[in-house]
Every structure is written in structure tokens, then in C-alpha cells.
């Protein structure tokens, strides 16, 4: 039997990483001779995750990787050639498959950079290119942008709850697949975590890695004190003792005993970790024991189903925890396991090269997609964000106002475009900032946006875009 | 700037795919000279997912891949050699790193085969080998087993709700990472889905792929009828028309118009898809339109935030849906985004080669881990499961009884071991059944176990294991 995919599947072409309907549509566009008409799609979400108002943009370098390596090799093409329609005929015809194999990225991409804030209905990505290619990329782009943005946002929320404390991401064992774990560790660091337990992520993304020992270490030895002694002997400068294998406060006393011996040998115990029980109360009692024993600098790490809500509660209770280890609830999103990002066609060129705006009608005008080639202007006063305007670049420069809840609001302050050019005609036109710089940006942004008074912050469509949308909806009614 | 990991990271060695604490513990074991003592760990979950009582075992071929390819190359070792302790000294010493680079799998593995049922506290995997190796494998094994079992179980629940209807898995765009999507598609198929939209999964796992078109296809054309006509022209034997881009019932009428033209050309329309609105009511009205127009065999596909609960509700309302497209809520677990599987040391050999049982104490005896080298006996009467016994193989053959809720219950019927040998001394001793056979097994098992009367089903520890556990807990008290 062949082994599973893990050791052989990731290769430098991602053509098949798509839903079948993207390929059948691509075949249809090809058959109709419209496959190279230029089209614009936007990737955006409608509702902010975790009952919040904003999300932290993440995933762009992964999207770039997918776009640059979106192609089909001979084996992919052979596989597609074997697929059948319901009547047993070949699903895809030869000329289309030949076209696929030759196809290369030639489009434009604009994006909200990693670490910037993105509001509902604002494009995280704006992609323009031959209809067939931008259609085929839909699924893979959604996969990486949805998940990266979800976890980065969760991490920013957790870091905000933790304040000046250290946050460690511990989630690999509960992640959704190996890449789920790797992308989660990356996004968690981007969103504000200080380090990860995931060594793969440490190597590939140059993220600081942290960790000391588990219960199994303690259980291997005849008793806890012997176990701590042995660990201190082997790794004297890396001692955070997990104290809850048998009894948390007795464990703390054992840690102190070993901490004293370490000190005689010229090393300092770094701290202890609590992993079960009433973390607030135990941390207060353990802190007292540590302080009384002369270890005021030994830190208390806590882990056990933590998230931003649990951290805030524990802090309110006066917990003496200064390092938070966060696993499952960070790397999976937990209370929200997916960002509901979508990818919608908003304009296509007709045979004469004129752009035609497109709209996907939904139950309400608000839920319906926005037409055109969208751009975003962010307004700031005293460097604080005060508003955001979505407009259609194809309709010229908009004024300084937006429609929100049916009313016109004028915007003032300095304004900046939120979308940055990434590709023009298939060539990359910007270097991406590295993960560490984006992380610093994210922390500044999150704290700026946390201070927003949402009763005064104005965002929505430009009046021109609102009118165009209303007219398109009227035509489709 | 370097590209992200997607195009370059998956390679045939997985040594770094672990939490740092596994490596620091490994270094400690090495330092203490106990790294090659034989140890036994079990991977199990404590609470069944989705408020159920059972889970569908999945992930074993992925675990095998990880085990066979768990090694470190020179670059991995160099990376580890650069890591620092808190005082700036090297975290790992040279002899340990040399050992890591030479380390190869030499252990035993027993597992519940894919497609079998696993109860809480029963080992999905039992792994025995040199302490250092079985410790290092913890994180990666948990990652693949937790996620695979979670999604397979969700799929089985959804398929059970759908009965004889077809279930399609559509989740890639909302999956947690590329491998999250691929592993989810695999597990969903194993658990009972009939096909996937994920073409990567289709190629690599030989899973049937399905899909026709999205809203964007309709939006590209001047109107819906033109769009359907064009699709029918391009792919006449693959027509399931998505009818809700503008108005679902008008869309159904357009599908019928095109269905009639298709029929003149010798093709049958396969059906329509509803993706928004009141799916129950719309399906009833669309069914009526299709039947009246002479398309009684055209099927109605529904998609839109569906799961086992929504399917049961829609069926209770009399919805005329016979194909269910399930995305986010299947591939992420949704209401439960992680199976809380754990991996616990349960025995280790002392220097004389005698096994010492180990236990991880928790708040209650039930939550505390089970000691020894665990095995499972399943009891059947008339081929229906009637009980399950967990016992310690190191303590000899147990009797035919279990302790449940403090009482002894005798078990009768034929009994079979649930764990199957996979490796002995590093060599694989069983071929794994292929995914398609495991899927058939899963469907039979799920339907057998759905009929269990849980008031009469007896499962728990053998009295001998219960006594050993009580004695170990007493010693640790």
C-alpha cells in the first residue's frame, strides 16, 4: 500500500489545489472563448470573527507562494484527463488540458499587507487577470487567507488580554493537520504571540521556540523530586518545572528545593508551570511559596484550555501568572473555527475592453457584493484611524464621504490607501516585509484600533459606489 | 525575501515536527542515560466528540508515514545546534545531536484500524519502543490522529443523518491550511462522504471528485439563461445548475429551459443546486417545478452552512433534497474544533528489564490515565457489539468481566481484540487496508454502533486493571 500524502505531496505546483467546479468553469470559459477576458475578483469577509469588529490581515506570503506556483505538471494533467462526466465521456477535452499545462500567472494583485487591520467587506485581496486564472485561484487563496487571518486575529485578541505578559503558542498537537499547525504557529506569532512550541515553525519561520518538560518526564522517574533534579542536571539553564503531575503545591516545593540546588551551581530556575486545577488560586499560593523561598523572579506559566476570556477572568481574580501557554483555542479558532471569507467576481471586460461591473445579489443590499475595482481609503486624525471608505477606482476619484446606515457622513483627516500593489502583469512589484516586522506593525495597529470609538468611526461605501450598487441591484431585481 | 513554506517545506523527514519540550526531554533522557529504556505510551481521548459516545478511528496511515519518516537531516541538526538556553549557552549538546541524527524507528505499534469504532479511554495507538523515540513522536502523532478522527466522526454523523442521500464534501476553502483541507477530505470520505470537491484529495487519495459551477459563472454572462446555455454547451454531461444567483425559482425555470434543450441534444440535466434562502421550502417548490416539467430524475443539491443537525431538520420539514454539500462544518469540526486526544506514558522498563506501570493522576480516578500495556477486547452477540474490556496485557489474561460505575459486570458473547499489530521491532507487520475498504467498514460499524442500547452495553476496565490502578493512585496520594 502506498503511504499517505505527508511525505510526498507538497511540491512546487499547486494546480490541483482547487475545487473541481473551478476546473469545470475554467473548461467552460475556454470552450466559450472567454477565458482570457480580464476579470476582477475580491477576497473579503462579511462578519468580523469572534464577535469583534475587525480582523488582522494575514496570509499574503502564502497567497503569493500559491500564485507563483499555481501550475499543473504532466501527472496532474493525466489525472484530469481520466476524469469522467456522468455519461462516461471525458470531463475535460484535450485542448483545454493543453492550455492548462501552459498557463502561467500574468495578473495584478493588490492586498492589505500582513499586520494591517481589515474591516468587513473590505478586500483583503484584489486580483485582476485572465478570467480562467483568477477563477482557478479562488479556492486555494481562500484556504490560506481565511485560516491565517482567523488565527492572527485570535492571537491579537489573546495578546491584548495578556497585556505585558508573555504569550506562548502550544497548539501543534491539536492543530488541524501539519500545515494547520505550521500556518497557525506563523499566524499566532504575527498576531502577537512571543514564541511557539512548534519546532518546525521555529526553523522555517525563524520564530522563537520555547518549552521544557511534560508530565511524562516526571512519571519516568521514581518520584517528582528525582525527576526535577535530573532535569536540572541535564538542562540547568532551561528549568521551568511542571508542578502538577501529582500535587501542585507539593510540586512547587520540590521545584524550590531544586531551584536552591541549581543556584548553588550558579544557575537560576526560570519558573514553574501549572497545567490543571484552579489556576488563579494555585498561582497565588505558588507565588507566595516562591517569594518566601527567595525566588521572586521565578515566573509562573499557566496552561489548560486558555483563551482571551479565561486570561481576563484570571487576571481579574488576581492570578499571579506572567506567561500564558495557549493551545487548542488559539490554533483552531475554537469558538469560531473558520473565517467566512468569500471571493466574488466584481467586474469583467467586454469584447471591446470596457469594464462591466458585476454584483452577487443577496437577501439584503448590504450582504450583496460590491461591484467594480475596489479600493480603500483610510482616514486618520492624530495618527488614530477615524474612518474608512470603499470606492470603485473605475469610476474615478471619490469625494471625502461615505454612506453608513443610509446617511452621508463626511470624512476628514489625512487619508491613505489600504491596498498595496503586489503584482503587475504577473511580475511582483513589492518586497514583502518579513514576519517579524509585520508582527511589530500588528501590535501597534491592534492597540490603535482597540481605542476606536465605534460610535464616531465612519466607514462604508463612497456615495458613488453606493449609487452604482443600487442601480445594479435594481437591474437584477 | 524568501517565499513561505508551502512550496518547499514538506519533505521526507519529520524530526522537527514536534514541540520543543519533546526535544528538551529527549536531551534530558539522553543525559541521564535512560533514553533507550523501553517505554509504552497510549494515545486516547477522554470524552467523545460532538456530545456523542463514540468516535470513528482515523489517521493511522498518516501516523505510519510520520513514524517511518521521523528523522533529522543535517540542516535540522544545525538549526537545533543554534538554539540557546536562557543564559545564552547552547540548549543541546553535540553528542545528543549526533544521536538524534542517527536515530531510527525500532519500536512496536498497535492500533485500532481505520474505520473501526473507538470508545473514550481506549487506546487509538499503543506505542512501545526506546523512551526517546516514543517521546519525540508524541506531538506529530497527536496532530494527525486527533484531526483525522475528529473529521471522520463528524462525517459519519452527517452521513447517518443523510441516510441514503449523497453527501459531498465541499470544505477546502474553509479548511485550516492546505493539509487541513487534504486530511479533512480524506477523513470525510473515510467517514462516509461520497465525494469531495478537493481535486488534490481526488488525485492523491483516489476519492471521487464532484462539482459544476459557482455564482461567478452566472455573473460572467449577461443573464442567467445565457450562462446556463453556455455551461450546457461546454459540459453537457455535467450539468447541475446553481439556481440562486438572482432568484431561486426563476433560476429553476431557467434550468428547466436548458434541460429541455439538453434533452433534444441527447443529454440529461443532472440537477440543480440551492445555496441560500429557506432550503426546505425552496426544495419543495423546485421539486414541483422539475417534476411538472418532466424532470423527475433531476436531483436537488443543497449547500449553505449544513451539518447533521440541519440535515435532520430539513428532512423533518419534508425537504426534497437528495444531495447534501457540506463544507465548513464538516472540515473544521465546527461545534468542536479539536478532539482532545492525549498521549500518556503508562509503563517503562527498569534497568533489569522489568516493566513498571505508570499513572498520571487527575482530579478523579476515572480521569487518571490507565497503567500498563493496554489491550481491548470487544464482545459481540449476534454480531452486535455488547461490551468492551480494557486490560493490562502485562498482568496476564483477564476474566470476562468489567468494572463500570463501581460495579462488576460479566461479559458474554464472542470476543475479539480491537488493537491490531502494525510494527514489531521497527518492521511493519501488517498491510493497511486501503481507504475505500476502510470506508465500507466504517459505514457498517457506524450503523451497528448506532443501534447499541447504552443502558445494556458494558465497558470499562478489567477488575485486575481497576485494582492495579487503585493501588498506584493510593501510592501517589
User: Which of B83, B90, B199, B221 should we substitute to test contact with A (largest number of A Cβ atoms within 10 Å)?
Assistant: B199
Q: What is the mean pLDDT of chain A?
A: 94
**Mean pLDDT for the stretch of residues A39-45:** 98
All cell numbers assigned to B441: 467498514
Largest Cα span, chain A? 83
pLDDT tens digit string along A251-293?
999 999 999 999 999 999 999 999 999 999 999 999 999 999 9
pLDDT tens digit string along B450-466?
999 999 999 999 999 99
DSSP A160-177: HHHTTSEEEE--GGGSSS
| B65 vs A6, A180, A431: nearest CB | A6
**Mean pLDDT for the stretch of residues B18-32:** 98
**CA of A161 to nearest chain B CA: how many angstroms apart?**
22
User: Quick one: pLDDT at residue A68?
Assistant: 86
Query: Is residue A358's pLDDT more than 70?
Result: yes
Tell me whether residue A456 is exposed, middle or buried, using C-beta atoms within 10 angstroms of its C-beta: 0 to 12, 13 to 18, 19 or more.
Answer: exposed
Query: Is residue A3's pLDDT more than 50?
Result: no
Query: Is residue A366's pLDDT more than 90?
Result: no
Confidence of residue A477 (pLDDT cuts 50, 70, 90): low
Query: Is the CB of B44 inside 8 Å of chain A's CB atoms?
Result: no
- Adjacency order of strands within the sheet including B240-242: B195-196, B166-169, B323-326, B299-303, B271-274, B240-242
Confidence of residue B5 (pLDDT cuts 50, 70, 90): very low
Q: What is the mean pLDDT of chain B?
A: 94
User: Which of A14, A180, A282, A423 should we substitute to test contact with B (largest number of B Cβ atoms within 10 Å)?
Assistant: A180
DSSP A85-135: -TTSSBSS-HHHHHHHHH-----EEEEPPTTSEE-TTS-SEEEEEEHHHHH
Collapse the DSSP code of A28 into the 3-class scheme (helix H, G, I; strand E, B; otherwise coil) and give the result. Answer: helix
User: Which of B47, B306, B337 should we substitute to test contact with A (largest number of A Cβ atoms within 10 Å)?
Assistant: B337
> Cα dist. B265→B212, B232, B260 in Å?
19, 10, 9
User: Quick one: pLDDT at residue B91?
Assistant: 97
Q: What residue has cell string 484570571?
A: A314
> Cα dist. A250→A243, A247, A263, B341 in Å?
8, 5, 20, 27
All cell numbers assigned to A295: 525566588
- B67, B83, B70: which is closest to A202 by C-alpha? B83
**Mean pLDDT for the stretch of residues B23-27:** 98
What domains can be seen in chain A, in order of their start residue? 152-331 (3.20.20.70)
Using CA of residue B27, residue B29, residue B30, residue B31, what is the dihedral sign? positive
Query: Is the CB of A436 inside 8 Å of chain B's CB atoms?
Result: no
Distance CA A106, CA A424 (A): 8
Task: Identify the helix (H) or strand (E) that includes residue A446.
Answer: helix A435-450
pLDDT tens digit string along A54-77?
999 999 988 988 898 898 989 999
Query: Is residue A6's pLDDT more than 70?
Result: no
Confidence of residue B475 (pLDDT cuts 50, 70, 90): confident
A194, HSE (Cβ side, Cα atoms, 13 Å) = 15
All cell numbers assigned to B304: 449553505
Q: CA angle, corner B19, sides to B13 and B21, nearest 5?
A: 125
User: Quick one: pLDDT at residue A1?
Assistant: 31
Query: Is residue B311's pLDDT more than 60?
Result: yes
Collapse the DSSP code of B421 into the 3-class scheme (helix H, G, I; strand E, B; otherwise coil) and give the result. Answer: strand
User: Quick one: pLDDT at residue B2?
Assistant: 34
Collapse the DSSP code of A75 into the 3-class scheme (helix H, G, I; strand E, B; otherwise coil) and give the result. Answer: helix
User: Quick one: pLDDT at residue A4?
Assistant: 33
All cell numbers assigned to A268: 537560576
pLDDT tens digit string along A235-248?
999 999 999 998 99
Distance CA B122, CA B377 (A): 10
B452, B385 Cβ separation under 8 angstroms:
yes
**CA of B199 to nearest chain A CA: how many angstroms apart?**
5
Confidence of residue A11 (pLDDT cuts 50, 70, 90): low
All cell numbers assigned to A301: 506559566
Confidence of residue B477 (pLDDT cuts 50, 70, 90): low
Task: Identify the helix (H) or strand (E) that includes residue A260.
Answer: helix A248-264
Confidence of residue B476 (pLDDT cuts 50, 70, 90): confident
Q: A13 or A72: which carries more pLDDT confidence?
A: A72
Distance CA B56, CA B114 (A): 8
Q: Do A24 and B348 touch (CB under 8 A)?
A: no
Query: Is the CB of A181 inside 8 Å of chain B's CB atoms?
Result: yes
Q: What is the DSSP letter of A18?
A: S
Collapse the DSSP code of B102 into the 3-class scheme (helix H, G, I; strand E, B; otherwise coil) and give the result. Answer: helix
Distance CA B174, CA A141 (A): 10
| A199 vs B20, B186, B210: nearest CB | B20
pLDDT tens digit string along A368-421?
899 999 999 999 999 999 999 999 999 999 999 999 888 999 999 999 999 999
A64, A142 Cβ separation under 8 angstroms:
no
User: Quick one: pLDDT at residue B6?
Assistant: 43
A125, HSE (Cβ side, Cα atoms, 13 Å) = 34
Q: Do A176 and B332 touch (CB under 8 A)?
A: yes
In the stretch 386-415 of chain B, residues with CB closer than 8 A to chain A read none
Query: Is residue B423's pLDDT more than 50?
Result: yes
b or e along A62-72 (b: 16 or more beta carbons within 10 Å of the residue's beta carbon)?
A: bbbbbbbbbbb
pLDDT tens digit string along A298-328?
999 999 999 999 999 999 999 999 999 999 9
Query: Is residue A10's pLDDT more than 80?
Result: no
Classify residue A198 as left (phi > 0), alpha (psi -120 to 50) or beta: beta
Query: Is the CB of A347 inside 8 Å of chain B's CB atoms?
Result: no
Query: Is residue B185's pLDDT more than 70?
Result: yes
ipTM above 0.90, yes or no: yes
A138, A22 Cβ separation under 8 angstroms:
yes
pLDDT tens digit string along B72-112?
989 999 999 999 999 999 999 999 999 999 999 999 999 99
Query: Is the CB of A38 inside 8 Å of chain B's CB atoms?
Result: no
pLDDT tens digit string along A119-163?
999 999 999 999 999 999 999 999 999 999 999 999 999 999 999
In the stretch 288-327 of chain B, residues with CB closer than 8 A to chain A read none
Q: Do B176 and A173 touch (CB under 8 A)?
A: no
Confidence of residue A8 (pLDDT cuts 50, 70, 90): very low
Confidence of residue B364 (pLDDT cuts 50, 70, 90): confident
What are the backbone dihedrals phi and psi of residue B44, each rounded to the nearest 5 degrees, phi first? -150, 165
Q: Do B5 and A358 touch (CB under 8 A)?
A: no
Confidence of residue A9 (pLDDT cuts 50, 70, 90): very low
State the first-to-last Cα distance of chain B, in angstroms, to the nearest integer. Answer: 56
Collapse the DSSP code of A292 into the 3-class scheme (helix H, G, I; strand E, B; otherwise coil) and give the result. Answer: helix
Q: What residue has cell string 487506546?
A: B123
| B147 vs A6, A177, A237: nearest CB | A177
Distance CA A6, CA A17 (A): 15
User: Quick one: pLDDT at residue B406?
Assistant: 87
Distance CA B83, CA B91 (A): 6
Query: Is residue B436's pLDDT more than 90?
Result: yes
- B411, B404, B419: which is closest to B460 by C-alpha? B404
The region of weakest confidence among A352-366, B172-186, B311-325, B421-435 is A352-366
Neighbours of A165 (CB within 10 A): 16
User: Quick one: pLDDT at residue B11?
Assistant: 58
Distance CA A55, CA A46 (A): 11
Distance CA A246, CA A290 (A): 18
| B235 vs A19, A85, A147: nearest CB | A85
Chain A residues with beta carbon closer than 8 angstroms to that of B96: none
Confidence of residue B10 (pLDDT cuts 50, 70, 90): low
Query: Is the CB of A48 inside 8 Å of chain B's CB atoms?
Result: no
Confidence of residue A2 (pLDDT cuts 50, 70, 90): very low
Q: What residue has cell string 538524534?
A: B100
Query: Is the CB of B214 inside 8 Å of chain A's CB atoms?
Result: yes
Nearest CA in chain A to B335: A335
Amino acid at each position: 500500500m502506498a503511504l499517505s500524502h505527508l511525505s510526498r505531496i507538497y511540491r512546487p505546483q499547486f494546480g490541483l489545489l482547487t475545487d473541481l467546479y473551478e476546473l469545470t468553469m475554467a473548461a467552460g470559459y475556454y470552450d466559450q472563448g472567454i477565458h482570457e477576458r480580464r476579470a476582477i475578483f475580491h477576497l473579503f469577509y462579511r462578519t468580523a470573527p469572534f464577535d469583534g469588529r475587525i480582523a488582522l490581515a494575514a496570509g499574503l506570503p502564502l497567497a503569493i507562494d500559491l500564485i507563483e506556483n499555481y501550475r499543473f505538471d504532466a501527472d496532474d494533467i493525466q489525472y484530469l484527463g481520466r476524469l469522467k462526466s456522468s455519461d462516461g465521456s471525458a470531463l475535460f477535452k484535450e485542448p483545454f488540458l493543453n492550455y492548462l499545462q501552459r498557463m502561467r500567472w500574468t495578473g495584478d494583485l493588490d492586498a492589505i499587507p500582513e499586520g494591517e487591520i481589515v474591516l468587513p467587506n473590505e478586500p483583503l485581496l484584489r486580483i485582476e487577470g485572465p478570467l480562467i486564472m483568477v477563477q482557478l485561484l479562488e479556492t486555494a487563496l481562500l484556504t490560506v487567507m481565511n485560516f491565517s487571518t482567523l488565527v492572527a486575529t485570535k492571537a491579537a485578541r489573546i495578546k491584548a488580554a495578556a497585556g505585558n505578559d508573555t504569550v506562548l503558542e502550544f497548539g501543534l498537537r491539536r492543530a488541524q493537520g501539519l500545515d494547520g499547525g505550521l500556518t497557525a504557529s506563523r499566524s499566532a506569532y504575527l498576531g502577537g504571540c512571543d514564541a511557539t512550541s512548534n519546532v518546525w515553525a521555529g526553523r522555517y519561520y525563524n520564530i522563537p521556540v520555547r518549552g521544557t518538560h511534560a508530565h511524562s518526564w516526571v512519571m519516568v522517574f521514581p518520584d517528582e523530586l528525582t525527576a526535577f533534579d535530573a532535569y536540572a542536571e541535564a538542562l540547568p539553564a532551561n528549568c521551568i518545572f511542571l508542578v502538577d503531575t501529582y500535587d501542585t503545591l507539593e510540586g512547587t516545593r520540590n521545584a524550590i528545593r531544586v531551584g536552591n540546588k541549581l543556584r548553588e551551581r550558579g544557575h537560576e530556575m526560570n519558573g514553574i508551570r501549572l497545567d490543571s486545577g484552579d489556576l488563579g488560586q494555585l498561582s497565588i499560593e505558588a507565588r507566595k511559596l516562591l517569594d518566601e523561598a527567595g525566588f521572586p523572579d521565578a515566573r509562573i506559566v499557566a496552561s489548560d484550555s486558555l483563551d482571551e476570556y479565561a486570561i481576563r477572568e484570571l487576571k481579574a481574580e488576581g492570578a499571579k501568572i506572567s506567561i500564558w501557554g495557549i493551545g487548542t483555542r488559539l490554533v483552531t479558532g475554537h469558538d469560531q473555527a473558520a473565517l467566512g471569507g468569500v471571493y466574488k467576481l466584481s467586474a469583467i471586460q467586454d469584447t471591446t475592453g470596457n469594464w462591466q461591473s458585476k454584483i452577487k445579489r443577496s437577501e439584503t443590499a448590504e450582504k450583496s457584493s460590491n461591484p467594480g475595482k475596489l479600493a480603500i481609503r483610510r482616514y486618520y486624525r492624530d495618527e488614530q484611524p477615524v474612518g474608512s471608505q470603499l470606492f470603485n477606482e473605475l469610476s474615478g476619484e471619490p469625494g471625502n464621504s461615505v454612506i453608513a446606515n443610509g446617511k452621508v457622513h463626511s470624512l476628514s483627516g489625512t487619508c491613505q490607501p489600504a491596498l498595496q500593489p503586489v503584482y503587475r502583469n504577473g511580475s511582483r512589484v513589492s518586497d514583502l516585509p518579513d514576519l517579524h516586522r509585520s508582527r511589530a506593525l500588528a501590535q501597534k495597529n491592534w492597540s490603535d484600533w482597540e481605542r476606536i470609538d465605534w460610535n464616531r468611526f465612519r466607514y462604508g461605501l463612497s456615495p458613488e459606489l453606493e449609487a452604482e450598487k443600487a442601480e445594479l441591484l435594481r437591474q437584477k431585481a
